[in-house]
Chains A and B, each alone.
Chain A
Amino acid sequence: MLLGIFTAAWALVLVGTVLIFRYIVPLTIFHSFLDSVLKGVLAMILVAVWLVLFVEMRNLMIRTQLRLVKKVSA
């Protein structure tokens, strides 16, 4: 289970890094300070989504463990 979580974390780190530094950071649409605002907002949305995914993975791990403990004690 933990190996699966770490593999998923690896994939998320890779995809997230590429999305932020390859696509969001060089983004130029308005040619003004609005570009910086847009980059900041997009990066923050991405980070927030990624954090939610990490929390869900952690919760999944805990739920699985609780189920296993119940099964063992039953």
Chain B
Amino acid sequence: MDYHKEGKPPVPRPGGPAIIAAIFFGELLLFAFSGSYAVLGLALVTLLSGIIGIVDDLKTLGGIVKPALLLLGGIPLVALQYFFPNAMVYDHHLYLPLFRIPTNIPLIYILLIIVAIPVVTNTINTIDVLNGVVTGTILIASVPVGFAIILRYLVGKENPYGMLAFSPFVVASLAFYYFHIYPSKIFPGDSGAMALGAAYGTMAIIGGVEVVAVIAILPAIMNSFFFLSSVKRLVEHREIKSQPVQILSDNKMIATGDPQAPVTLMRLLVGTTAKSEKEIGRDILKLCAYTSFLAGVTAILTWVITIA
């Protein structure tokens, strides 16, 4: 049901299985042609996180169980690198803005993968608040990530499969966005949002563009941070009794005055003026475009303009 529209029309969900299948089989086909284990890793992480999402769609998982299960998401990448050490599934040299020489963190990087995949997956899932927002966010954030991967390739620090792996993921997101854009004809559900989040996080790792990818999804990260810092515990959003926004008679939304309600990005966007769902969605995507621009600047500072 679409709660933000007049009459609360029914909308089919979840579209996640279609997203998972598109990314998984697209990447699998690419693996068959390229033999790149990084591509296989992307397919497996998406599948595993997507399956956890499907379980969440069918039987709502708790605020602690879900992130705990998602810790499994990064295992395929670490396992592939362990069993095929020459396959270069990921590069444990972390490239930082302004520094030409990367920091070598072989052990910490494994820990980062295990933690980063569930964090990004959950973060992307929490921005799935309005029609077209999660798919739009992923698509906009993919622009600087793709740009950074190309820059990395141009300076000779990336294999071409990192760039190729990007295409099935972006095509699947774009195809789903067509149906998810306001007014949505289908919702991705937790499975779709989590599959997109896991694929995005994996793309950042196998592409070696971690910092750029984090900055591009700052609106989603800040939304998660605002929520967690206001409710002060890991909790499923459905369990929250006080709503951050209320729907007015003209279907516009405005922040509630309830001090118990969690602080979210949407609540901050309608703090002073009531806005329609379309306007709020557009504002979130504008913020994402701005942080994607900052991510692009970060990519230039990492691979073009370096001082040390």
Contacts and interface: CB of A to CB of B under 8 A. Distances in A.
Interface of A: 2-3, 5-7, 9-10, 13-14, 17-18, 21-22, 25-26, 51, 54-55, 58, 61-62, 65, 68-69, 72
30 contacts: A2-B268, A2-B269, A2-B287, A3-B287, A6-B287, A6-B291, A9-B222, A10-B218, A10-B291, A10-B294, A10-B298, A13-B211, A13-B215, A14-B211, A14-B215, A14-B298, A17-B97, A18-B97, A21-B105, A22-B96, A22-B99, A25-B105, A25-B108, A55-B229, A58-B226, A58-B229, A58-B263, A62-B263, A65-B268, A65-B272
A57 to B, nearest CB: 9
A73 B96 CA distance: 48
A7 B99 contact: no
If over half of A's interface residues share one DSSP class (helix, strand or loop), that class is named, otherwise mixed; here it is: helix
Contacts of B225: 54, 58
Contacts, number: 70
Contacts of B291: 6, 10
Interface of B: 94, 96-99, 103, 105, 108, 211, 214-215, 218-219, 221-222, 225-226, 229, 255, 263, 268-269, 271-272, 287, 290-291, 294, 298
A18 B294 CA distance: 16
Given A3-B290, A54-B225, A69 B97 contact: no
